Structure 1
């Protein structure tokens, strides 16, 4: 058999194995079938991950796998052109639920902007661009537009979608928006917004049993990616020890995000004066690493269905973990920020004037009125997004605490 034919046969067998596994799991979880192009995209990413495993000596840490699965150029979940947001995607974010979210957030943002000169808004990971467009529209109506709206976005595909959204909703403000891959080198006065960014950072996954810490990673077995554990080593074990997890008699599994501190540090270095609003699902550390969550919070999402199989469809499913907001607060304090508030999304939106905005929103029919009320409930009620999502507010160089946390501030829980 020639080398070429042998290689082709090997690829055919490998593709068959991958497709067989996909079909089996789809049948088990009742998942929608991906397109042929999506399966091919996932196969290509599979090969890149396998090569990374080989280059690393046969095993990579889970956060390295997650980095590739989400951000590998042209193939990762956030860079491969897969529909992500809305009903046709894998999840719905607050800005996609209703413009009420951005309109309400614009209130405290504008109040902070007023305290500074030449202030900008910096948004990380702007998703579809809906939040940016709706905030700009709300600030335009207030006559309180920033000097510039900067979007930090690594994905060229998402940048293009954001540009289309902003051109469609606020074409006259498009010239105020700039896209960057990194924060500005020269420090600026700014309000920083990051909605559902922290949960998309790669995490290390670990297991504790009999006080022994092991790290989850990925190797290759019989030509397929496989999850496997190895000893964590002293450096990672020391970081996990700081979480003060009470080790139960059984195996305790969770995750740790070591990217938060350097990310917060980079923001602090970029800001002279300003504020940071971080919105995400998560808990204070005492709740995050409780016995109740002994299996961790990591999960994959595909077409609005949760999947506890991170190696399935690399590049096609969203991979995410909840946020330890205590680690956010610690990183902020270590990097010259004040922690001005921590509360649920529902409380934050109420403090920021959601009820008044709903009252002033025009509805030309009873159906429209009911839709607006339902959107408000989805964003703010405990049983919906109101309690699951939290908001933490940081400030630097400001004399007063930033707005949005006047009632039911839960900083004492951090």
Structure 2
């Protein structure tokens, strides 16, 4: 099968060691976890720049908070409401990237936040976040893992898509798990028969490649177990189950990002580029509910930001800022592909971000 040639690096040697331990084959989620998070070497654990507007900055992709501070200022409206409704004064952010969103929320919410806790696996990103957030150093705290008990409002922007996924391939009517082997100077795909299945039946007999998301779903279940009081909001690209596992979506959603270009070969240039998969929001919602969360709402990013009042600061902004902010809501940019899901501990309320255009019924 096709494979990506790759130069030998400390990271590929770690993957080779994992292959050796497991008889020459590892599942894709294990490969993705090492490629992204191997300490000091994986993509999110090394010192490359990652976040920024343009390739000339040495960055690989732009996220909404990097695009415009209006993203965080608008999200802050929903966070403030959630802090009030839940009687909490802490914000928790997962995968805080460059620290841009944290800065926007801290600036916008001021005294409303007593503590801002960042849970991030990446030491190099933590250094960048500390520089960005130096003005709020008295409030910010970093953790490498979830504590046993938490209270507050949780935010995660583009964090679920970076959680490792397992690949399932249907060929000739049979289901296989697609894993990774060593082949010559690179890595290659190899499919092995499996009892694993997508959460819904895929209509038709055609060959089909897709993902399942046990790690993201387990993360939501753990969060629901440990968040004793508060709410959580996750913003990411993805679909409800019926769209995710549509018969026509037969190539899967795994993509790589580097220098603001996308490619479909996660086996090449390992550690030098991002690997992501779209989010199955139905699975996330069900896992949250099963673990005790109440779903506050689910809608497009565009609808959420407009509900939370984006238009007014946009109208007051200078034209270059308005153009960037428009990318957050335009259907062909981030407005429709990106979705927002909200959870509450205890009784839900009519959250401002889901006031109109809530699509929870599609989950």
The answer to whether the Cα contact below 8 Å between 1:395 and 1:401 also exists between their aligned partners in 2 is no
Cα–Cα, structure 1 residues 346 and 312, in superposed 2: closer, same or farther, change >3 Å? same
CA distance in 2 between counterparts of 1:332 and 1:374 reads: 36
Gaps of 5+ in 1: 1-17, 23-38, 362-368
CA distance in 2 between counterparts of 1:345 and 1:101 reads: 10
Cα–Cα, structure 1 residues 118 and 309, in superposed 2: closer, same or farther, change >3 Å? closer
CA distance in 2 between counterparts of 1:405 and 1:224 reads: 47
Q: Cα distance, 1:84 vs. partner?
A: 0.6
Aligned partner of 2:201 among 244, 266, 277: 244
CA distance in 2 between counterparts of 1:227 and 1:333 reads: 35
Q: Which residue of 2 aligns with 1:123?
A: 93
Q: Which residue of 1 aligns with 2:221?
A: 265
| Greater radius of gyration (CA) | 1
The answer to whether the Cα contact below 8 Å between 2:89 and 2:112 also exists between their aligned partners in 1 is no
Q: Which residue of 2 aligns with 1:163?
A: 130
Q: Which residue of 2 aligns with 1:75?
A: 41
CA distance in 1 between counterparts of 2:307 and 2:352 reads: 8
The answer to whether the Cα contact below 8 Å between 2:173 and 2:205 also exists between their aligned partners in 1 is no
The answer to whether the Cα contact below 8 Å between 2:315 and 2:322 also exists between their aligned partners in 1 is no
Cα–Cα, structure 1 residues 119 and 218, in superposed 2: closer, same or farther, change >3 Å? same
CA distance in 2 between counterparts of 1:159 and 1:373 reads: 30
Q: Cα distance, 1:292 vs. partner?
A: 2.4
Q: Which residue of 2 aligns with 1:311?
A: 267
Cα–Cα, structure 1 residues 221 and 345, in superposed 2: closer, same or farther, change >3 Å? same
Are 2:344 and 1:395 equivalent residues in the alignment? yes
CA distance in 2 between counterparts of 1:359 and 1:226 reads: 51
Q: Deviations over 1:10-68 (max 9, x none)?
A: xxxxxxxx9x946xxxxxxxxxxxxxxxx7xx622111111110111111001100000
Q: Cα distance, 1:399 vs. partner?
A: 4.9
Q: Deviations over 1:314-349 (max 9, x none)?
A: 000110100000001110110111111111000000
Gaps of 5+ in 2: none
CA distance in 2 between counterparts of 1:285 and 1:399 reads: 23
Residues 218-227 or 75-84, more deviating: 218-227
The answer to whether the Cα contact below 8 Å between 1:274 and 1:398 also exists between their aligned partners in 2 is no
Q: Which residue of 2 aligns with 1:6?
A: none
The answer to whether the Cα contact below 8 Å between 2:35 and 2:270 also exists between their aligned partners in 1 is yes
Q: Which residue of 1 aligns with 2:113?
A: 146
CA distance in 2 between counterparts of 1:117 and 1:341 reads: 20
Could you say which structure has the higher helix fraction? 1
Give the TM-score normalised by structure 2: 0.94
Aligned partner of 2:79 among 109, 118, 127: 109
Q: Deviations over 1:240-274 (max 9, x none)?
A: 2x32221x332111111111222112211221221
- What number of residue pairs does the alignment pair up? 357
Q: CA RMSD in A?
A: 1.7
CA distance in 2 between counterparts of 1:64 and 1:188 reads: 28
CA distance in 2 between counterparts of 1:223 and 1:139 reads: 52
Q: Which residue of 1 aligns with 2:282?
A: 326
CA distance in 1 between counterparts of 2:348 and 2:124 reads: 40
CA distance in 1 between counterparts of 2:158 and 2:73 reads: 17
Q: Cα distance, 1:356 vs. partner?
A: 1.8
Once the two structures are superposed, the pairs formed by residues 3-402 of structure 1 within 5 Å of their partners are 21=5, 43-86=9-52, 87=54, 88-140=58-110, 144-167=111-134, 171=135, 173-185=136-148, 187-232=149-194, 234=195, 236-237=196-197, 240=198, 242-246=199-203, 248-361=204-317, 369-402=318-351
Could you say which structure has the higher strand fraction? 2
CA distance in 1 between counterparts of 2:131 and 2:42 reads: 21
The answer to whether the Cα contact below 8 Å between 1:199 and 1:321 also exists between their aligned partners in 2 is yes
SS at match of 1:202: coil
The answer to whether the Cα contact below 8 Å between 1:188 and 1:271 also exists between their aligned partners in 2 is yes
Q: Cα distance, 1:115 vs. partner?
A: 2.5
Q: Cα distance, 1:277 vs. partner?
A: 0.5
- The runs of at least 4 consecutive aligned structure 1 residues that moved more than 6 Å come to none
Q: Cα distance, 1:223 vs. partner?
A: 4.9
SS at match of 2:133: helix
CA distance in 1 between counterparts of 2:279 and 2:348 reads: 28
Give the TM-score normalised by structure 1: 0.83
The answer to whether the Cα contact below 8 Å between 1:126 and 1:153 also exists between their aligned partners in 2 is yes
